[in-house]
Amino acid sequence: MRVLGIETSCDETSAAIVSGTPDDMQLESLVILSQDVHRLFGGVVPEIASRQHLVGIVPAVNAALHDAQRALGDLDAIAVTHAPGLVGALLVGTSYAKTLAFSHGLPVVPVHHLEGHLFATLLEQPEAKPPFTALLVSGGHTLLLDVPEWGRYQLLGQTRDDAVGEAFDKVAKLLGLPYPGGRPVELLAATAESPEHGHAHYFARPMLRRRAVVTDDDYFDCSFSGLKTAVLYAVRRAEAAGDIEQQRASIARGFQDAVIDTLVEKVYRAAKLRRRSRVVLGGGVACNGALQQAMRERFAGRNGVVFAPTPRLATDNAAMIAAAGLFRALQGEHAAPDMTATASLPIPGIFSGKF
């Protein structure tokens, strides 16, 4: 089976071709047009995003076909992100996918963006397959899942307020760093002295109590808005003392350490509960090298393997949409002609249950 994937849920216009089966997948091409214009505004401007998708979608799809040396006649299906995301942005991809599919007699496969993130690592590392514990951390979502098999996702925990990427972006703004802020915060944090050598900022770890038990509400959930406020006060104190330049790196480091400690512990609890030896990270924040390293160190003792996609596949891209679409197409799932775009929708196959 060969699938063209289309992704336009936020600020990347992307097209890709993937072929094979979920056990043996090949990425034939991937084109990502990133909309840098949003940097000027410090966040994604929905109408500008939609208009840019309209400009980029045809060249992106043509380039993906060209790079893979394929024609539309070589495809078995067109997979497209239909939820969640900015509705105007999603409508560009879904409308184009439907038109292209209709005019070439191909089925359309609707893909949930977050299910796409779960498949991203598989394109590079065939061992990143179920059963595994998954941590999806992006600008809009923070989800802790148990994945016994593709298509079945048990929701163990999520954020109660800000997504992790959103917290990175807001802290970056407080520290005078550009948008999106995750990478700049990581780079600044790396320049701070380590805790043993006097890096001064320690922030309380949100929802991380030592004697927590699995039946506690917050055993798997996270919260980052209190941490963000603690960073705000630290920045204000440093500014009042005329010392912000000296303290910026240490504040970034203290924030990142608190986030990482929290995420590593929550993922560890989830993997232990379900006796999983594989962990798959997904979403833009999965690019964070310090997070990956801390996760690997924590799981080394349990002979656990931590998989993370490379940055190109961790952030939004159509390869992961094509991969999830290929799985869904093999299940016989096709969109009805009235398929639409939806701003928010649960991942198909998600369930929550008693621990």
Q: Which is nearer to ligand KG4, 20 or 140 (CB)?
A: 140
Residue from the set 16, 27, 234, 285 that interacts with ligand KG4 by CB under 6 A: 285
Is residue 183 involved in binding ligand KG4 (CB under 6 A)? yes
Is-contact 301 156, C-beta < 8 A?
Answer: no
Q: What part of residues 3-42 is at the interface with ligand KG4 (CB under 6 A)?
A: 10
Q: Which is nearer to ligand KG4, 75 or 286 (CB)?
A: 286
Is-contact 125 322, C-beta < 8 A?
Answer: no
Residue from the set 7, 28, 115, 186 that interacts with ligand KG4 by CB under 6 A: 186
User: CA 230, 252, 113 angle in degrees (round to 5)?
Assistant: 90
Is residue 257 involved in binding ligand KG4 (CB under 6 A)? no
Dist CA 317 CA 311 (whole Å): 10
Decide which of ligand KG4, Zn ion, none touches 165; Cβ closer than 5 to 8 Å per partner kind: ligand KG4
> Which residues, 6+ apart, have CB-to-CB distance to 49 below 8 Å?
10, 11, 35, 38, 86, 88, 89
Is residue 315 involved in binding ligand KG4 (CB under 6 A)? yes
What track of x and - describes contact with ligand KG4 for positions 135 through 174 (by CB under 6 A)?
Answer: ---xxx------------------------x--xx-----
Q: Is there a cis peptide before residue 180, judged by omega within 30 degrees of 0? A: yes
Dist CA 129 CA 278 (whole Å): 8
Q: Which is nearer to ligand KG4, 33 or 329 (CB)?
A: 33
Residue 191 CB, shortest distance to ligand KG4, in Å, is: 14
Residue 288 CB, shortest distance to ligand KG4, in Å, is: 3
Decide which of Zn ion, ligand KG4, none touches 180; Cβ closer than 5 to 8 Å per partner kind: ligand KG4
Dist CA 127 CA 342 (whole Å): 32
The encoded tokens of residue 185 equal 């915060």
Question: Among 31, 34, 26, which residue's Cα sits nearest to residue 3?
Answer: 26
SS3 81: strand
Query: Which residues contact ligand KG4 (rule: CB under 6 A)?
Result: 10, 138-140, 165, 168-169, 180-183, 186, 283-285, 287-288, 315-316
